[in-house]
Amino acid sequence: MKPNSLNPKTGLATFLLMAAAFSGLAQSKSFKEVFTVPANKAYVEPFNPGSRGVSVPVGYPEDKGIVSKWSDQRKSVVWYLYQKPGQYDFYFDNTVDQGKKLTFELILSPTSPIKGFKNISKKITFNGSGQANALFAGNITVPETGYFRYELKPVTDPQSAIKITSLTFKSLKDGGQVNHTDYQSSPSVHLSFSSTEPTTKSYNWIYQEIIVPKGADPLATYYMSLGFYRGYMGIQTNSSTERRVLFSVWDSKDAENDKTITAHDYVSFVDKDKSTTVNTFGGEGTGGQSYVKAANWKTAEPVKFLMNVLKQDNNSVVLSAWYKLEGEDWKYVATWRAPKEQRMFDGFYSFLENFGYTNGQVRREAYYYNAWGMEDQTGKWVNFNKVKFSNTDGKPGQRTDYEQGVSEKYPDMFYMSSGGYTPTLKTANEIPVSKQQLNINLKPFEERVAAALQNEESNNKDFKTKK
């Protein structure tokens, strides 16, 4: 399969999908190229992590990742594909149990609304012989490049009697292309904050606010607010009932992959609030993790974040974090000691990611705004009004469905979104410097850090015992 990139100028804004000859039988034709989409490059919809109703093993190799065990008639299997203009004969490569007759509705639609376009649907029937078979589903004409959605929806009870190994597209014209993505997650996107104002870029306090719009909070989303040289802090949607605030700090070396690590390289626990859970983490470097399970932040309401770094005499820094929900007081999360470090903050970055993998077709979004850093030498708050864009995906032919920039709805806020299989959109990377200074009384926070240091010895000893 040849990779390609999505043209944002055409994208889905001008994407049309027409079924030219949705007949039940394929005629003898001369095909230019054949494209195969492994069946496990799909989603189960509606998404419910506790009750899938059909097996789509996304973590398996493509040759073993078949759709099977389809027992829930309420569940659809959906493929989101990127396609270039052309005509294609479309097949489901399948095996159905002997004697079974299974009817499904096949629904084809663009991933963004198209004026004057009506979704295309037809019923197709799989007749079981117990042998591998290629069911011809129809002929499709695609006149514009873009993403589109194939949904296979049960009409009759699937009875766990069908296995789908792949989708095959046979191109009747030169220049055709059908592309699936390598994974069912969504792109990770980042904003790196700075200021157009004169500044030392040496801050002992950093601050930011986030708002997650209603409906933009699917499960397994991390809205990271304050990312710095040793860790990050933000909010997560962890389940239908749990929404965390998370604060993590990395070790000086990766304990899982660096054999030269010593006891002096590990992050150590200093103190925490009684509502905070602390442990170690790995998989992306190693370090100390603290989180509040019952944070219960809400969509459409601001969440405020504050972080402090304080140099210590033993070639280390202590890092402390707080958050504030609408109508509530500031809440302390935890303090960690980072060894072999004497750095102040020089700014921070934010990101948006899907850490749950199998609902990456759903759009997630957040506004990132009111970003500040306090210069450690002058005590002056500096407004971060400029960002630099980056992303971890967007390779040719892969996931390019993300947005970054200044919000059209709120021109004094930056925003990011990811997922939805829509074209890439990047807007402005700068907003006016705030005319209002950030006004926070830092004395209570400084006192809490001092108290944390007094508790450090006993707390850290207990943390090492638990590890």
Same domain for 25 and 130: yes
Do 164 and 242 sit in the same domain of this protein? no
**Domain assignment present for 8:** no
Tell me: do 287 and 433 sit in the same domain. Answer: yes
Q: What's the sign of the alpha-carbon dihedral 420, 356, 293, 277? A: negative
- List Cα–Cα distances, 232 to 337, 350, 449, in angstroms: 14, 9, 18
CA atoms of 89 and 138, how far apart (whole Å): 6
| 119 domain residue, yes or no | yes
Q: In what helix (H) or strand (E) does residue 443 lie, and over which residues does it extend?
A: helix 443-466
Q: What digits encode the pLDDT tens for the residues 186-220?
A: 999 999 999 999 999 999 999 999 999 999 999 99
Distance (Å, rounded) from C-alpha 436 to C-alpha 375? Answer: 17
Question: Are 98 and 33 part of one and the same domain?
Answer: yes
Is pLDDT at 155 greater than 90 in this prediction? yes
* 276, part of any domain: yes
Range of the domain at 338: 189-466
| The two three-digit tokens of residue 60, written as one number | 């398996």
Structure confidence at residue 17 (pLDDT): 39
Percent of the chain exceeding pLDDT 90 equals 74
* 142 plus 216 within the same structural domain: no
255 and 357 belong to one structural domain: yes
* Count of residues making up the chain: 467
Phi, psi of 70 (to 5 degrees): -85, 95
Of 132, 153, 179, the residue at which a domain comes to its end is 179
> Residue 39 and residue 64: Cα distance in Å, rounded?
9
13 assigned to some structural domain? no
Helices in 334-442 by DSSP H: which ranges? none
Strand order in the sheet with 276-281: 276-281, 287-292, 243-250, 231-237, 221-228, 348-354, 189-194, 386-391
Last-in-domain residue among 134, 154, 179: 179
In a domain, 448, yes or no: yes
pLDDT-derived band of residue 103, with 50, 70 and 90 as boundaries? very high
CA 262/CA 269 separation, integer angstroms: 17
**Shortest CA distance to 228 belongs to which of 137, 336, 122, 120?**
336
Q: Is residue 2 part of a domain?
A: no
Sign of CA dihedral 84, 86, 87, 89: negative
What does the pLDDT look like over 420-465, one tens digit per residue? 998 899 999 999 999 999 999 999 999 999 999 999 998 877 665 4
- What one-character-per-residue DSSP string does 321-347 give? EEEEETTS--EEEEEEEEES--PPB--
Instruction: Check: CB of residue 140 under 8 Å from CB of residue 190.
Output: no
Count of domains observed in the chain: 2
Q: Are both 261 and 166 inside the same structural domain?
A: no
Phi/psi of residue 122, each to 5°? -155, 155
> Closest by alpha carbon to 209, among 130, 306, 316?
306
Examine the domain organization and report whether 133 and 218 are in the same domain: no
Question: What's at 121, amino acid-wise?
Answer: S
Residues linked to residue 193 through DSSP beta bridges, in sequence order? 348, 387
My answer on whether 34 and 101 are in the same domain is yes
Q: What is the pTM of this model?
A: 0.88
Report pLDDT digits (tens) over 238-259: 998 999 999 999 999 999 999 9
Residues 107 and 256 in one domain: no
Once rounded to an integer, what is the mean pLDDT over residues 263-272? 95
What span, in angstroms and rounded, lies between the C-alpha atoms of 405 and 421? 18
The pLDDT tens digits of the residues spanning 406-417 come to 999 999 999 999
Q: Which pair of structure tokens corresponds to residue 99?
A: 């004697």
Query: At 369, is the pLDDT very low, low, confident or very high (cuts 50, 70, 90)?
Result: very high
How far apart, in whole angstroms, are the C-alpha atoms of residue 83 and residue 168?
13
Angstrom CA distances, 189 to 9, 353, 402, 412, 421, stand at 21, 7, 7, 20, 15
CATH number of the domain bearing residue 49: 2.60.120.260
Q: Is 419 found in the same domain as 381?
A: yes
Question: Domain end: 179, 198, 228, which one?
Answer: 179
pLDDT at 5: 34
Calculate what percentage of the chain has a pLDDT beyond 70.
90
pLDDT number for residue 460: 75
C-alpha to C-alpha distance for 115 and 107, rounded to whole angstroms: 18
The CA distances from residue 50 to 54, 347, 349, 389, in Å, are: 12, 40, 34, 35
pLDDT at 10: 35
Does one domain contain both 161 and 194? no
Least confident of 16-25, 65-74, 76-85, 283-292: 16-25
Residue 264 is assigned to a structural domain of this protein: yes
Quote the CA–CA distance of 249 and 268 in Å, as a whole number. Answer: 9
